[in-house]
Structure 1
């Protein structure tokens, strides 16, 4: 990945063991390469999603499996170009779904799929 100077439109990775720790570095490289479609599957024990994923500002589609999504700072707008979000088997912090939806409040994000989400506090869904 580091040797490839070309643009990367799509990146899919199934991460476990030693490679899961490298995803943070890869995401910074992918952000510089203008990645648009990102599909990350973590096969271990729900690692926290690296903050570097939020540097991928050109994302139009994001799929996450098997990770914990941290709360985002108030007022933070993530992924201004995002049109599709798929979350499967993810763990959210207290009221995480509410905070995530506010951070993804961009009107272009028309499709959000939630599959097997876990939170320590029941969260509410907003239509909007």
Structure 2
């Protein structure tokens, strides 16, 4: 009789053993958003093509000494190998929106590469890790 009871309860124990644990996901969201921006609005190019011209416009308006916001961020900054969206948010952060990217060809990629090389050689004054307008 005890054997039959044990046999009847065995599938229940197996289900609990195979169920996903909340332990593995505990704190994952808070880790991704630990240093995420806390602003609620979206950038001026939201729902538009996130082109090099639009990035240049945001970069020209960017003030590294002011706090980071949806309109005050470096669109060429990377965080964990990722580029920000049109509002300065990175993948994995709250309210991130995958940007609409323009069509590319070799000539445009070459133009973008030369611009980025020039940009890295001549950063804006105040553009340093830890500045209020920087994510890094």
The reply to whether TM is greater than 0.5 is no
Q: Normalised by the size of structure 2, how large is the TM-score?
A: 0.26
Q: Normalised by the size of structure 1, how large is the TM-score?
A: 0.27
Q: Which has the larger radius of gyration?
A: 2
Structure ranking higher on relative contact order (CA contacts 8 Å, 6+ apart): 2
- More strand per residue: 1
